[in-house]
Structure 1
């Protein structure tokens, strides 16, 4: 059993020897000196290296692996997760198993930032190659970097942290810009001795977070929408959960509004505020994401996949799929 001043992560997958990997960290990732660990992976079609660095309050993970076939990793943390994830190359889809976290999809060349009070879910990965930079930090690090008034500075994000409500910066993960790429490369290429590497990495991570917070705040400040009440957030979460488990149903906006006791116009407006996209488009994207997984994993053929996600006409499904992914469903199985 870990001591109460430790934090634990449990990973379960066929890619780990023995099926399980357990990692323990000091509370809030505190450390007086830099810690580095290199791990080689060569198990069940996944080969490569994982380089992990811990500096005070931060964990940085650089993955560089080759993937022969799709695989999954069950993941759980006994501590709140604050994560800035850059999928430099590859595909990452997190599927929550409870209400304490949210679905996250990060495609090649994209990134996202999120906070989950607790993590219990499944990570899905696809071939052929993955390279990532994953930065984990804690509430203590945010307080140290931004100050005790972080709630006021970070607005919705700060409120979510204080209320222990899961928060995803962008429903659709953002493109890694050239400026971000340079900062990522600076981190990956750092060859300083430990005495200089520690402050360098701490400064680089803080700079990345400030850049992202500032960019996100500017977008938020341009919005004329008002803050949503906790009860509205709860209703929107119920809508998202219902959509995820009823993709083969009609899912009209009117029926979803009735389900949670909201006016249809209010539901559409509130959903766009919190998810950055329309409710109709979100439903379509979730259907396409599910169908893509069914087809890629050979669970069923294209026609059956279209029926499973609510399309009675496979041609209509094909048009919608190409609009989202830029390719035909049949190209997934060539």
Structure 2
């Protein structure tokens, strides 16, 4: 049976923001406190999608007490805000993806004056999360549940930068909603895709074997990852990388695959394309310059693998930006 009481948590948040006309979408704010809009969608009983875009005329703090345990995934596209939960302070900053596991807790939110906040939030009850985990666990041979992740705590946060794949889905979703072309089924599919991608990246990361890989080996493999990121446009060969970190190439290849879920080359390719995506979003460079900046001397090949990875030609991104 689905637990749909988690919707009360979002209603409490809207009430604390002093939102009027809660039954309407988008919601209107009380005058003189803040401006903007929040859109609330419930494409199915155990799924809530919130699109927030607002700012405050003054420094603003509010307290919310969650009434039901839930899992929330949020993408912060603009603005930085702090939140105190269970005696600990957290920062939700622009460009981050946050996966939150929430029991019944009190939260104190702090918003800054004249700062725009743009967020996309996706919420599900623990029954739905546990169902997802049981299905993913069948293929990953790992067993996770809401209670196991919290491990006796009342709140847990996983946070990282929004990756390019998720950002594309989020922006496509926002564009479709703004143009009123998003059906409930399409919204449900996009939200579930984002949840699935995030669960896999945050919760199902293979750990290194303690027998084969020592703590020193782990540190060296982390060092290899840093070198790849620093020298993305002109990276060392695998043998050169092994020598730089002082680890033989067999341990480097096997350890890197287990630690990051892909090969050294696969990781480099993914990070190059992600960086290219963000450079395209800035709109200050052409495709050829971006290809060179991330280590591809052939712009045509770069465009081919970029479209293969993200489903869109890089020139289309620049063209869309120029229309704004």
Q: Structure 1 regions of 5+ residues with no counterpart?
A: 24-34, 226-334
Q: What is the rounded CA distance, in whole Å, between the counterparts of 2:86 and 2:58 in structure 1?
A: 23
- Whose helix proportion is higher, 1 or 2? 2
Distance 1:145 1:218, change over 3 A: closer
1:238-317 equivalences under 5 Å are: none
1:223 & 1:120 partners in 2: Cα distance?
A: 39
TM-score, L = length of structure 2: 0.52
SS where residue 58 of structure 2 aligns? Answer: coil
Residue equivalent to 2:192? 206
Matches for 1:2-17 after TM superposition, within 5 Å: 6-7=5-6, 8-9=8-9, 10-11=12-13, 15-16=17-18
Relative to total residues, which structure has the larger strand share, 1 or 2?
A: 1
Q: Could you tell me how far apart the structure 2 residues matched to 1:162 and 1:22 are?
A: 35
Unpaired segments of 5 or more residues in structure 2? Answer: 212-324
Distance of 2:163 and 2:43 partners within structure 1? 26
Corresponding residue SS for 1:216? helix
Q: Select which of 197, 218, 229 maps to 2:183.
A: 197
| Change over 3 Å in CA distance of 1:155–1:145 after alignment to 2 | closer
Whether the 8 Å CA contact 1:157–1:167 is kept in 2: the answer is no
Alignment of 1:150-165 (within 5 A): 155=143, 158-160=146-148, 165=153
Q: 1:160 to 1:13 in 2, by over 3 A?
A: same
Q: Under a length normalisation based on structure 1, what TM-score does the superposition of the two structures give?
A: 0.51
Counterpart in the other structure of 1:54: 42
For 2:165 and 2:136, the matched residues in 1 are separated by 28
> Quick check: 2:86–2:154 contact (8 Å CA) kept in 1?
no
Q: Distance in 2 between matches of 1:12 and 1:53?
A: 14
Distance 1:38 1:148 in 2: 35
The CA deviation at 1:145 is 3.5
Q: 1:218 to 1:148 in 2, by over 3 A?
A: closer
How far has the Cα of 1:48 moved from its partner?
Answer: 0.5
> 1:179 aligned to 2:165?
yes
**Residue 88 to residue 79, structure 1, CA distance change in 2 (3 Å):** same
1:20-169 correspondence runs (5 A): 37-56=25-44, 57-97=46-86, 103-127=89-113, 128-147=115-134, 155=143, 158-160=146-148, 165-169=153-157
Distance 1:67 1:192 in 2: 22
> Following the alignment from structure 2 to structure 1, what is the Cα–Cα distance between the partners of residues 178 and 142?
32
Aligned partner of residue 147 in structure 1, secondary structure? helix
Contact 2:103 2:155 in 1 (8 A): no
Q: Distance in 2 between matches of 1:163 and 1:15?
A: 31
Deviation at 1:95, TM superposition (A): 0.6
Following TM superposition, by how much is the alpha carbon of 1:68 offset from its aligned partner in structure 2, in angstroms? Answer: 2.8
3-state DSSP of counterpart to 2:25: strand
What do the CA deviations read for 1:84-137 (whole angstroms, capped 9, x no partner)?
111110112221256xxx543211111210111112121111241110001111
Three-state SS of the structure 1 residue aligned to 2:193 is: helix
CA distance in 2, matches of 1:224, 1:70: 49
Q: Distance in 2 between matches of 1:154 and 1:94?
A: 32
Give the root-mean-square deviation of aligned CA atoms.
3.8
2:101–2:146: 8 Å Cα contact kept in structure 1? no
- In 2, the alpha carbon distance for the partners of 1:221 and 1:39 equals 44
> Is the 1:97–1:122 contact (alpha carbons within 8 Å) kept by the matching residues of 2?
no
Deviation at 1:195, TM superposition (A): 11
Cα 1:5–1:83 shift into 2, 3 Å: closer
Over alpha carbons, which structure has the higher Rg? 2
